[in-house]
Amino acid sequence: MNRSWPMKLGVNIDHVATLRQARHTPYPNLSMAIAAAEQGGADAITLHLREDRRHIQDADVLAIHDHVQTRVNLEMAATDEMIDIACRIRPRDCCIVPERREELTTEGGLDVKGQQSRLSVARKQLAAAGIRVSLFIEPDVSLLPIVQAIGAPAIELHTGRYANLAPGIERDQELVRLKKMSAQAHAAGIQVNAGHGLDYENVGVIAEIPELVELNIGHSIVCRAIFVGLEQATREMKALMQVART
Ligand code: PXP
């Protein structure tokens, strides 16, 4: 497969909002963060409106199209409240994620088997509003027929397990699962994205997977931005992705 097609980077700005919410200050300013990420080469801006509103707020989502020049990818749970907000805002993409209030961050992929009918309804409602739906799932090929039955045009593979494992057999096996899932989903006509826990050390191995179209990365970029600024932190991540593709 030709790996020379550029891989896209969605910069997740949740943790810029985390800093703001820590003190309920007006700064750091989200629109400035969006501009910096886009200057640094972000192809999309990703944000997660959580039920507990711990970082991104409703007002951020409502104003998002005033600030984003590229493309908005809204991560959210498939609840009536979130579907209603998404249908009002109409981001280009919606990534449906599982959500538990007590979790530190999104843990594990969607239970597409148990939630098939709920996710099918959500997918249809969002598609009717012109929104492209992606399902955040584990790299498990047995889930693909269910993704197809739901009718999702895209998936985002959860790379968190790979990112958390120490080098060794288990991590190698997880990489094999990610590669196999990417190849089979791509062959089935599904767009394959990936994200979670990706950083400047591990992004290259993931970006080398030829079927992957987009990576969504937040925490590591915002952390690096403390030292070099968000524009440069984004540029460095994008450069590592491009190197992996060539
Ligand atoms: N993709 C999805 C679906 C997520 O839920 C998150 C975390 O909000 C990310 C990507 C980004 O993960 P990280 O902040 O670890 O880069």
Residue 5 has pLDDT above 80, yes or no: no
- Candidates 15, 48, 55, 67; catalytic one: 48
219 a catalytic residue: no
214 a catalytic residue: no
pLDDT of residue 86: 98
Q: What is the pLDDT of residues 73-100, one digit of tens each?
A: 999 999 999 999 999 999 999 999 997 7
User: Of 107, 110, 196, 223, which is best to mutate to test ligand 1, by the most ligand atoms within 8 angstroms of its C-beta?
Assistant: 196
Q: If pLDDT is split at 50, 70 and 90, which confidence band does 102 have?
A: low
Residue 4 has pLDDT above 60, yes or no: no
Q: What is the pLDDT of residues 14-43, one digit of tens each?
A: 999 999 999 999 999 999 999 999 999 999
Q: If pLDDT is split at 50, 70 and 90, which confidence band does 137 have?
A: very high
Q: What is the position in ligand 1's atom list of the atom closest to the CA of 136? A: 3
Distance 62 CA to ligand 1 centre (A): 21
245 and 211 Cβ atoms separated by less than 8 Å: no
Phi, psi of 32 (to 5 degrees): -70, -35
Kindly report the protein residue whose alpha carbon is nearest to atom 1 of ligand 1. 195
Residue 240 has pLDDT above 80, yes or no: yes
Q: What's the pTM? A: 0.95
Cβ of 95 closer than 6 Å to ligand 1, yes or no, is yes
